[in-house]
Structures are given as C-alpha cells and as structure tokens.
Structure 1
Amino acid sequence: MTSQLCCYIFENRHGLIFNPDSIRILREQYRIIGCLTGNLPEYPRQNAELGLPLELSREECCVLADQHIISMYELILPLNDCEEDHAKYLTDLEIEFQRQKIENGHERINEILINRQSILQRNIQSANENSSETDEFTLSLLETNNAWKNCSRSLEENEHIMLLNIIKQRLRQFTLEYMLMKLPIESRRTNLKLRSITSEELKQNLKLIEQLRCDVFADLYLNKNQKYWISSGQKFGGDYLVYFDDPSRCHSTFIVTCVLRNEIERNSTIIPLTHLIARCRIAVNVNKICILASRKSPISCDIEYLTVNWNGF
C-alpha cells in the first residue's frame, strides 16, 4: 500500500513534511502533533510563531510507516543542477516579478493620489519640470487605474505633469531586490533522486534506550482503550507528554520517562534516586503525573508503566 503523505528523512533520522494538507490530515485524523521548525515568510525574523516544515520524531515516523499512513523517502546526495530547472525558475521569477510590479504600481498610484494636496504644495516649484517620456508600463497602469482616471479629469496641466513625474519616479524604485520571494512548499527539481525507506531501516543501529522509546511511543499511540495525543516531553525533563485530547484544547496529564530496567545488569543503577525525586517534584509543580515506562522482560515487547506519586514527606 502506497501512502499519499510523503515524509522526507534526513541525516538526523527525523522526518520533514512540507505539504500543509498532509500536516492537517496527520493532526485531525491521526493525532500526530510533530514540531513546526520553519519561520513564517511574513515574519522571518522571529521564532515565537513557527511554520513549515513539520518535523516528525523517529518514533512518529516509525509508527506512521508501520500503519501505512506515510511513505518515507531519503534524498540521494549530491544534487546535480539542471539547466532546464534553472531556466524555468528564472521564468517563473520574472512572471512573479511582473505581477508584483503591477500590484505595487497601483498601490503607489493610489497612495500618491490620496496625498496629492500635500504633494502638490511641496512640489509647486517643479511644476514646469517635465522628465523623460512616459514608458508603456506606466501608461498601461494609468489606463487601468480607476483612481487616476477620476482624478486626472479635475487636474490642471501643471498638476497633471507634477503628479505624473512623481508616479514615474516611485514606480522606478520597485526593482527585483524589493520583490517578495515566495518560499516553495516542496522542491521543483526534476532530477531529484529519492530512495524509499522502511521503518526497519529507520530503527537500525539504535541504542537500547532509543529502541525502548520507539516501543513505548507505539504502545501509547496504538492503545485500544484510549486514544492518546503524544508530544515531546523534553521541556519537563521527560520523554513524552501524554494528552487525553488535542493539545490545543487541554493540558497534558502524564509525563512519561523511558527507563532501562531489565536490559541492564542487575547490580547497575536503573535511575538515580535524586533524579527520580526531581522528576516527581517537577510533575507535582506542573500538575501532572510522573510515569516510568520499561519492558517487562529483555525479550518481550510488552511495556509496563509505573506511576510515581509525591506524598510530600
């Protein structure tokens, strides 16, 4: 079965999803939160509100791939530039520039006409100055601009010349450097080479604790009795935060920490007592329940959970 949701795996073995429709489907239908990692094109110099792409953890990628919800692909490097792709990019760039140039031209004309009284008073000494002839682009804009059509009927000749000179001056200021660049959602290269990846490949060479995290995430996500929402628990010192509903509607209830117990030697320390106390105190302070997750036995995939309560003494 081939999924329509494409996830691209990179060197850190995390997945990136660029298509906003795919992100919406994962959120609404499959309870996958992920983490937005890109800046918004409208506000590139801030990190309070993030945008595409959506980063999926290794655990989320493995579960979704096993359920045939996503298809995972790895980009084969290096990339070779294609002259056809470059030419098409320049063509699309020129088309977008001309579109923005027209929109900007109408905005500048309307702005000048709204403030024409103050502009005419400031530039009365240059009323008789007539610059070069009006170019075809400016004429086409003026012919389609209703504000100019209505205003030009009541203008005197010197006022008409003055405003026309200012409009031409303002329109010349919009060059390619001032163009708003639209960030593509996905690559437009025609020579991309992708390799399909399975969840087994993604789990190769994992450490014991990383394998345990994958199994715990899958056990929580595929729980038949309760549909949990799961996100990263790093901000509270755990591995996962577990919600009973969409995180936009409620706070998390559990802080889950994966602990190696049966996989290590019996005389080794499972988790330092000071760390356990710290986790419990954090959970109490943020009104959550601390849970330790481990395997029942080294050869078993069954996960058992231990709830730790802080009694205050």
Structure 2
Amino acid sequence: MIRIQILEGKAFVWNYADARRIREEHHIVGTLVGALARKPRQNVRLGLPLQLLPEEAQLLAEKGLAVLFKTTASHPLGEDTSQDPSSSLEVAAYRKGLEENYQEQLRLAAEQRKTVLDTLAQRIADGRAKKRRQKEEGADPPLKPADLEPSFVLPQESMMIQLLTERAQPGQEEEVAWHVPSQDWPYAGQQDHEMRCCIFRNLWEQGYYVTSGSKFGGDFLVYPGDPMRFHAHYIALCVPKDASLSLHDIISAGRLGTNVKKTVLLCSVDQDGAAVYTSLQWTGMQ
C-alpha cells in the first residue's frame, strides 16, 4: 500500500519505492520538491519528497492503491524530553550507530589507500632514488608502503552520513479520511474540487498522463504518454457546466493553446456525473 503523508492540506510521498510505483504502475506523475543532498542550493533538479495534486492523491485513495495519513506529535511542542528514558535510549543507539559507521568507513578507506600505495610504491621509490643519485647520494633500498604512509587517519568530520528521506522509525500516525472534510483534508465536498477530480479521473482512465497545468494557465496538462517522452497535447480548463464564458475568455484560451501548439479542452461535468469536453483550436493550426 502506497503511503501518502498529508501536511497542511498537501500530499507528499517520501518513500522512493512508492514514488516509483506511482509513476511506472499507476501513471501518476506528481512533482519532486525536495533538495538534492549533494547540491541543496540549486533548484534545477529536485528530489524527494514527491508532492501530489489533491486530485492525484484522492484518485489513488479511491482506487484503494494508497492510504492518507498524518503524523501526530509524540510530545507537546516545547516539552523537555531530556529526562525521558526512551529518548535517552534512542540517542545512545543513534550515537552507537554513528560510531560503528565511522569505524567501518575508516577500515575501508585504509584498505583502499593501502591498495593505491602498493601500486605506486615502486614508482615512488624509483623517483626518490633518482633524486638522490643526482645529488651524489647513495640510493637507499626501495621504500615499503608502510614507510610511505606510516599511519592513516580519517577525520570524523569527513565521514559519509546517510540522509534519510523517510523516518527510519515512524512516530505516532493517524489515518486521514479523504471523503470527509477536515483541517488536514479540506477539499472533500467542495464543488470545484469534485469537478476537477471527476475530470482528472476520466482522463486518467482513458490512459492519459495528467499533470498540473498552471504553467500554461490551465488546470491540467494532458499527455499521451509519460511526460519524460511526450509533449502535452491538451490544456484542460475545468469550467462548471452552467457557467457562462465571455467571448474574450474563449479567444484568450484559444490563442493560448495556439501559441504553445496545444489544443484547449473546456471540461465540465454534466448532471449524470459524466465528464464533457469541448475543444478549441484555430482552423489554420495543423
């Protein structure tokens, strides 16, 4: 079961395996919003967590593919936990794990350095002997790797530390009901949200990949395949069926689609709950 964490009304997936399943098996794209551990100050390429649209999260929950949950605080904010025996045991276990990790890295680094020195020992010794001969000094016997590197120290500050994208030991959790409005999930029952969910579900069931369309001024972008391989074919605008559209809005939407070489879809939901589409495209556009 895919686990989706709800935080202030936003849906996040922290587990790499779940994020991969969502895209490869269920054709849900989402948006990576986390910084990379090695380059935290850049925003060209992002990593976990994967943030899902409310429609994406609800679709996965409706299909029984995911569960929505929130993490509850184990201790009230500001409470001193230094005297808590369980907290002390966790700190001791964490420090013990760090020390074991450091000793393992120290051993591997020393072995790797010894291998390099074994390979270069004769070359280094020949170079030093040549310099001594040039100074009319007697050549000493070839140096051993131990003579070249009598001791090896790996500063503890230089050790590699694993940065987890998911809590190794989850705290107290509580399931969030997606069909009941709450502070954590305020979308349930909202007319606009239900309309968008219906349209998103209908496009998804037809095999399309659907992502946020905010960068093109729409509600959704509709792709014939994975967005890593295809450009979007449609810009979906979700409009209530009885809502009136001015001619100015229709022309603006049509020009938008023409400029980015996409067809605009005016999407609505009829009285029977079925999605209805109207496409806008200039006749001269191929």
Distance in 2 separating the partners of 1:120 and 1:278: 78
| Aligned-partner residue type, residue 111 of structure 2 | H
TM norm structure 1: 0.71
**Which sections of structure 1, spanning at least 5 residues, go unmatched?**
126-154, 265-269
Distance in 1 separating the partners of 2:201 and 2:125: 68
Q: Which secondary structure does the structure 1 equivalent of 2:91 belong to? A: helix
Contact 1:35 1:56 in 2 (8 A): yes
Contact 1:292 1:306 in 2 (8 A): yes
> In the alignment, which residue of structure 2 is the partner of 1:94?
99
Determine which of 280, 284, 288 is the counterpart of 2:254. 280
Q: Indicate whether 1:219 and 2:193 are aligned.
A: no
Give CA-to-partner distance per residue, 1:195-237, whole Å, 9 cap, x none.
Answer: 1112213354665433432232123223xxx211111111211
Determine which of 270, 277, 280 is the counterpart of 1:296. 270
> In the alignment, which residue of structure 2 is the partner of 1:63?
59
Contact 1:41 1:182 in 2 (8 A): no
Q: Indicate whether 1:181 and 2:186 are aligned.
A: no
Determine which of 197, 202, 209 is the counterpart of 2:192. 209
> In the alignment, which residue of structure 2 is the partner of 1:310?
282
Structure 1 range deviating more: 111-120 or 60-69? 111-120
User: How many angstroms does 1:79 deviate by?
Assistant: 4.7
> In the alignment, which residue of structure 2 is the partner of 1:199?
178
Q: Which secondary structure does the structure 2 equivalent of 1:200 belong to? A: coil
Superposed, 1:1-313 pairs within 5 Å as 4-11=1-8, 13-77=9-73, 79=75, 82-112=87-117, 117=123, 156=141, 162-165=147-150, 168=151, 171-172=152-153, 174-189=154-169, 192-201=171-180, 202-204=185-187, 207-222=190-205, 226-262=206-242, 270-271=244-245, 273-297=247-271, 301-311=273-283
Matched-pair identity in %: 28
Q: Which secondary structure does the structure 2 equivalent of 1:214 belong to? A: helix
Give CA-to-partner distance per residue, 1:132-164, whole Å, 9 cap, x none.
Answer: xxxxxxxxxxxxxxxxxxxxxxx9376666512
Distance in 2 separating the partners of 1:199 and 1:310: 40
**Which sections of structure 2, spanning at least 5 residues, go unmatched?**
82-86, 132-139
Query: Structure 1 282/180 Cα, relative in aligned 2: closer, same or farther at 3 Å?
Result: farther
* Larger helix proportion of the pair: 1
Query: Structure 1 55/120 Cα, relative in aligned 2: closer, same or farther at 3 Å?
Result: farther
Contact 1:120 1:159 in 2 (8 A): no
Distance in 1 separating the partners of 2:48 and 2:160: 18
User: How many angstroms does 1:290 deviate by?
Assistant: 0.4
Give CA-to-partner distance per residue, 1:102-160, whole Å, 9 cap, x none.
Answer: 232234444555565569968x99xxxxxxxxxxxxxxxxxxxxxxxxxxxxx937666
Distance in 2 separating the partners of 1:286 and 1:30: 27
TM norm structure 2: 0.77
| Aligned-partner residue type, residue 279 of structure 2 | T
State the Cα RMSD in Å: 3.2
